Structure 1
Amino acid sequence: MLGAERRQRIMDILGEDGKVYVAKLATEFQVTEETVRRDLEKLECQNLLQRSYGGAVPSEATSADVSFARRSSQNQASKLQIAEAAHSLIHDGDTIMVDSSTTCQMLLNRLAKKQGITVITNSIRLMYDFRASAFRMVCTGGNFRASSCSLTGPVATRMLAGYHADDTIISCKAIDLAGGLMESNDSESEVKEIMMQQARRVILLVDHSKFDKTALVRFGDIGSLSYLITDREPHEEWKKFLAETKVKLLVC
């Protein structure tokens, strides 16, 4: 297993279990504990985790891959404001692709009264939560990721590539002027990349805590967005960049 593959697996385990242990990882990867410590050190340098005695825990300050339930409780007021702003961009009869983010969950709650909406998603959680809604729901197949209640992998991306949507609505773990749009794992990144390609417009829902941060995997260019919706005014450098790339900024 390559170093990059080990580190991705470490982040996956961290997202599912909330902690990783050096000895256990060394056994799983069939490498020395010193090799695992070097992997953890590299991930810590990227602000993706915080080393602790015998292992590591997620870094709250950045973009560790935390569970859906835990993400649902974070920045709720900001997410509700963002969902409200995004609501006005979606019209009766639209087809939308949405990811497994908690902000998209809040948006679908706001869209429930609109007519003829088709929702294409890789989120098992959204399929369950809106099973009795008037939405026409389409879900991908794929590999189940417990931490995000989502389906990923080749089956999911192939299915998404067969659909076209009016809007793709996604969130991300981090956004940076140099780094672009970033996620904490490869599998979610691949899904979001395909979703962005399959829609007429791409709408990013992201609260202020995600700006100028770094995550493990880059999946898209900021300039590929149609709208960026956030809860606080970004600094002037961001405003200038978004204007130059013709990305419409909506601040709640």
Structure 2
Amino acid sequence: MHPNKRRDLVMKAIQEDGKVEINKLSDELNVSPMTIRRDLVQLEEDGKLIRTHGGAVLPKPLITETPFSTKESRHTEQKKLIAKKTLPFIKDGQTIILDSGTTTLELARLLSARKDITVITNDIKIAAELLDSQLKVFITGGELQTNVGALYGPQTHQFLKSIHVDMFFLGAHAIEMEAGITSPTFEKSLIKQLMIEAAETTWLVADSSKFDQKAFSKVCDFDQISGFITDEGISDDQKEQLSHYIKII
């Protein structure tokens, strides 16, 4: 079979399923896995797909900032279950950072019944949720990002550089094996990086819809976090890839 004909069949398969696996294509097209790998390399260079561990996926547009009202209505049940699974990791007497986001907001709602915990956040929605709790709450300060509820800017940076905490619960806009964890802006990434630096340990809390997505600015690689708490929508292949770097719950 001519290489162009074979690559057309590869693209037809990936357009139908959104992804392909090297071994499956090798069997279906009766060629070696190495031949399929070469085809995927060429198709990636042509901008038609993105190679993954053991296969390839269709390229996706970069993730942009999403208003709070939109994020709040997406994957609500998954976020609540992630928050519930995260709660036992937080012990009395600890100081934690909650990143801005709707998954961390669900965690704040569960924490509101606790007492001996200090919470630091750059999210006014999270701070408002803890208004009537018995927790000690610090807000980073900074300029308000309207429609999102996050605080940012030099005041936020200065605050985060001056603290040290037990744990940081990191929210994510996008997660991808090669790109790592990314966010829509340099500013968002910088704040998350400062939070990582301020914490003894960092846990990523994000639903599976964030996986196989890329945003504009790099936050960190997987080796900078201790683990990832997510829902069961993550595939076995994704679990296997991630397990080489971090603990997955």
Q: Does 2:177 correspond to 1:204?
A: no
Corresponding residue number in structure 2 for 1:131? 131
Distance, in Å, in 2 between the alignment partners of 1:220 and 1:92 is: 28
1:249 aligned onto 2:240 = no
The aligned amino acid for 2:61 is: N
Matches within 5 A, 1:149-160: 149-160=149-160
CA distance in 1, matches of 2:77, 2:236: 24
Q: Distance between the aligned counterparts of 1:216 and 1:105, measured in 2?
A: 24
When normalised by structure 1's length, the TM-score is: 0.72
Letter in 1 for 2:248: L
Deviations 1:158-184 (A, max 9, x none): 111111111100211100010000111
1:103-252 equivalent positions in 2, closer than 5 A:
103-232=103-232, 234-245=234-245, 247-250=246-249
**Gap runs ≥5 in structure 1:** 1-44, 49-62
Q: TM-score, normalised by structure 2?
A: 0.73
- C-alpha distance in structure 2 between counterparts of 1:166 and 1:211, whole Å: 26
For 2:91, what is the secondary structure of its paired residue? Answer: coil
Match of 1:107, SS? Answer: helix
Tell me the CA shift for residue 233 of structure 1. 5.4
* Residues 202 and 74 of structure 1: CA distance in aligned 2, closer, same or farther (over 3 Å): same
AA aligned to 2:140 is T
Identity, % of aligned pairs? 29
How many Å separate the matches in 2 of 1:226 and 1:152?
Answer: 25
Contact conserved, 1:99 with 1:169, CA < 8 A, in 2? Answer: yes
**Contact 2:108–2:129 (CA<8 Å) still a contact in 1?**
no
Deviation at 1:46, TM superposition (A): 6.3
- Residues 94 and 117 of structure 1 are in contact (CA less than 8 Å); yes or no, is this contact kept in structure 2? yes
Residue 177 of structure 1 aligns to which amino acid in structure 2? M
